[in-house]
Structure 1
Amino acid sequence: MTSTGTELADLAREAGTTFILALFVDLRGKPCAKLVPVEAIDLLATEGVGFAGYAVGAMGQEPRDPDLMAIPDPSSFTPIPFIKEGLALVHCDPHVEGKPWPYAPRVILKSLIARAAEAGFEPWVGAEVEYFLLTRNPDGSLATADTADTAAQPCYDARGVTRMYDHLTTISTAMNQLGWSNYANDHEDGNGQFEQNFQFAEALITADRVVTLRYLLSMIAAERGMIATFMPKPFADRTGSGLHLHLSLTSSGAAMFPGDEASDGHGLGLSSVAYSFIAGILDHACALQAVVGPTVNSYKRTGALTTTSGASWAPRLPTYGGNDRTHYIRVPDDQRIELRGGDGSANPYLAIAAALGAGLDGIARNLDPGPIGAVGEGSRPLPPTLLHAIDDMVGDDVITGVLDAVGDGVAEYFADLKRQEFFTYHGTVSPWEVEQYLTAF
């Protein structure tokens, strides 16, 4: 048995694992897996498990192409007996013919982490996963799972949290059993909307945890007859669901974002490295949105002017500021920045990789973000639609360079996927159009 196989086998034995989900996501974020019995763990560890890449989805393959081989990362081994007794999952890196596959999101993020290391940095990330708990009415329309959740301003409502106690505590207990340090569970701004927070970690670990948490939320909600959705804007009149990313850098273990008063040009307590990182993200914000807001529905969230609660909580301009949630980048303290442009449909590997690439570009170019709250010279509002965002992305060498970090062609493939998605949506006739135009002429 190989050292990797021994490590994975030891982890499985210690956890009492009998079956392992060998899991990865495609470019759209779809979780894909095969269920592997523990008796085949050495084969899984040494050769991986094979997938027909075209059948997987958005992975850059045609039916004629050779198998994707999902190679497990033992460090990501996660026992999940609260889903099924004896079950665990392990995150995998897809390979083709022995080489990491350029279209694999986890492979792309690992490449950006290596690029950061070459520049002398280690990236750290925290993620806020927002979601709705829903059911379907007999006519197929969506309804809030908690029928009593009807308040005009339900955010932080103690009664709403208590009514969902069983669901929230099951997820919280699972996160803490896994060592993620869940520290808060709250009702968010929309009826039926929740958020459950866990501590920040190294970039790859956090991305893995976001994928794992979405899976856990979906499965545990389904057991209670609910739908957990990460759709950015399932209701036109309610707040959308974000995937806010808290980003920071260290260098040889030393925090790089705190600054001193003498050298702080913008009054937020940050270093010049942090301000340049912010400036890089702002400079590429419009192109970045194609990755952190990658669906048609994403732009219903960032385009919202208000909601029934009184605020959309989604940025419309590429600005930054202090502890102010109206900005694209919020700076809550001198340890981190919060990127608020991403939403629940974002692929966490790609979103973190793209934000990291943009920030590193700002550091490399020694950019300055300008005055707090100001839209930079030459900047525009965030893209109004997915199509606009893709056009911005294909014209941005830094963001396309992130997607092409392991091999050329990924950015073009991603752009084509998303253009097709937009035009498929654009080709449908909505109830709004029927209502507006049926007898208008």
Structure 2
Amino acid sequence: MIRDTAARPAGVADIAEAVEFLAAHPQITAFDLVLIDANGIARGKIIRRHELLPIFRSGRHLPGSILGLDVSGEDVEETGLVWSDGDADRRAWPIQGSLVPLPWTNPPRGEVRLSLCELDGTPMAADPRHALARRDALLRADGYHPVLAYELEFYLLDREKDAAGNFQPLRLPLSGERPEGIQVYGVSELDRLEPFIDAVYRAAEAQNLPVETMISEYAQGQFELTLRHGSALRAADDLVMLKRLLRSVALRHGMMACFMAKPFAGRAGSGMHVHASLADAAGDNLFADRDDELSPLLRQAVAGLLETMDESMLVFAPHLNSWRRFSAQSYAPTTPTWARNNRSVAVRVPAGSGAGRHLEQRAAGIDTNPYLVGATVLAGMQRGIAAKADPGPETTAYAESAGDILPPGWRSAIEKASTSSFLKDALGERMHFVFLALKRAEYRRFAAEITALERLLYGEIV
């Protein structure tokens, strides 16, 4: 039996962080407690100001079933976290450096993100953040310090749907017009979005989020934001914070920030490209070019990602809609290939300085959980390095589909992931079990639904 000792886990935020924050922000009267579940969805509650310090002292009880919810927020008993577990409490602890203001709120609130632990202080293995922390620690034990950065593609949509009930692009704030044409890299579209962009950058600065470049992407109303690279955990933390920031700021500007992988048929999908490298203890890049050639370590990491890609696709494409993103000539990879300076491949080595060389994994959609994606990417890299694997020749043209090398769809990806010893190791056995239970439940829910298209095509025909 696990005793509720309130043992303080290593690495959680110190109470001094909360004391200093409260002194600096006397106007904040409430705080959002935020825990990220396996689907990447923020769960939690709002507390009053006087409740904050006790959480930093001794944590806060939360039910373990909060990590056994599907995308609609319903319990999935098959996770083993609901009734078979007695809906037992665990203890949530504040993440170091995560206490920030929410500058878009009125009256002003703050936010603190949480990780879930067992009552004795050991990591709760179904918390996806612990999966990434575990993989990061394993690499560090081998002398490798992971450095990650995520790109975030998303749509800004009108909060009102069209007459047919479909999404439609936003009206640009300064002109009142909807974007026309693709206008990738269009500067005018960004200029007409000025009030929203200014609010995003101001909010990011207030939260110490390293938000950098914003561009107009490959569809009407689609944009991309980049985040500066950092440690594995910090990079994933930044990504979940930025998604929440964009949703909240968009809402207050009459828009909807949409992170579906493919909200529109016939238009570009939204990816979450992962830039990764390994540093030594001194911070020097181990992927840096050697004698003007790609380093052997980088090539081995690429090989590991290619070899494990088919087993990993459920993490990179976890929902039914995720699979609509993959099609020929769509900038979403359809086969496990690699190349330098080629955006059609699954693993790209970007152009740039040899000293800053890194790889870019391009399979993941923006609808994924960055902790699970990060853990899976790092595990694939680690496998390739351990085996001193060779990625083979790089692709020199557009990477066309190579048949059945990757799972052909969502159900196949679930089946592949369920038997993958690699993915079980990458995520941890408990996280792997819970994630599969959630995906199977989500698949059953869609499989039982009769769609409007089915009624249209078959209602009076067959």
TM, length-normalised to structure 2: 0.86
Q: Is the 8 A contact 2:35 2:43 kept in 1?
A: yes
Partner of 1:267: none
Q: Is the 8 A contact 2:414 2:439 kept in 1?
A: yes
The match for 1:293 among 311, 317, 323 is: 317
Single out whichever of 96-105 and 69-78 deviates more from structure 2. 69-78
Distance (Å, rounded) in 2 between the aligned partners of 1:15 and 1:156: 39
The match for 1:213 among 210, 232, 242 is: 242
The answer on 1:38 being equivalent to 2:49 is yes
Letter paired with 1:19: A
How far did residue 139 of structure 1 move?
5.4
CA 1:104–1:180: 2 relative to 1, 3 Å: same
The gaps in structure 1 that reach 5 residues or longer are: 265-269, 306-310
* CA-atom RMSD in angstroms: 2.3
The match for 1:224 among 241, 253, 264 is: 253
Partner of 2:347: 329
Single out whichever of 82-91 and 17-26 deviates more from structure 2. 82-91
Partner of 1:145: 170
**Deviation readout 1:284-324 (Å, 9 max, x if unpaired):** 1011111121111111001x23xxxxx41111011111111
The answer on 1:62 being equivalent to 2:82 is yes
Partner of 2:301: 277
The answer on 1:242 being equivalent to 2:274 is no
Q: Is the 8 A contact 2:68 2:434 kept in 1?
A: no
Distance (Å, rounded) in 2 between the aligned partners of 1:49 and 1:70: 5
**Deviation readout 1:328-355 (Å, 9 max, x if unpaired):** 0111144211111001111011110111
Q: 1:114-153 alignment to 2 at 5 Å?
A: 114-134=137-157, 135-137=159-161, 140-146=165-171, 148-153=177-182
Q: 1:35-434 alignment to 2 at 5 Å?
A: 35-55=46-66, 57-58=68-69, 60-63=80-83, 64-84=86-106, 86-98=108-120, 99-134=122-157, 135-137=159-161, 140-146=165-171, 148-252=177-281, 253-261=283-291, 264=293, 270-302=294-326, 304-305=327-328, 311-333=329-351, 334=354, 335-373=357-395, 380-404=404-428, 408-434=429-455
Distance (Å, rounded) in 2 between the aligned partners of 1:341 and 1:399: 16
How far did residue 60 of structure 1 move?
5.0
The gaps in structure 2 that reach 5 residues or longer are: 1-7, 70-78
SS at match of 2:248: helix
SS at match of 2:275: strand
What is the count of residue pairs matched by the alignment? 423
SS at match of 1:254: coil
SS at match of 1:171: helix
Distance (Å, rounded) in 2 between the aligned partners of 1:412 and 1:57: 11
Letter paired with 1:114: A
**Deviation readout 1:4-45 (Å, 9 max, x if unpaired):** 212322233234444332211111111012223332333101
Distance (Å, rounded) in 1 between the aligned partners of 2:166 and 2:251: 17
Distance (Å, rounded) in 2 between the aligned partners of 1:118 and 1:7: 29
Letter paired with 1:21: D
Distance (Å, rounded) in 2 between the aligned partners of 1:21 and 1:131: 24
How far did residue 171 of structure 1 move?
0.8
Q: Is the 8 A contact 2:144 2:279 kept in 1?
A: yes
Partner of 2:74: none
Q: Is the 8 A contact 1:60 1:410 kept in 2?
A: no
TM, length-normalised to structure 1: 0.90
Letter paired with 1:144: P
What percent identity do the matched residue pairs reach? 27
CA 1:56–1:362: 2 relative to 1, 3 Å: closer
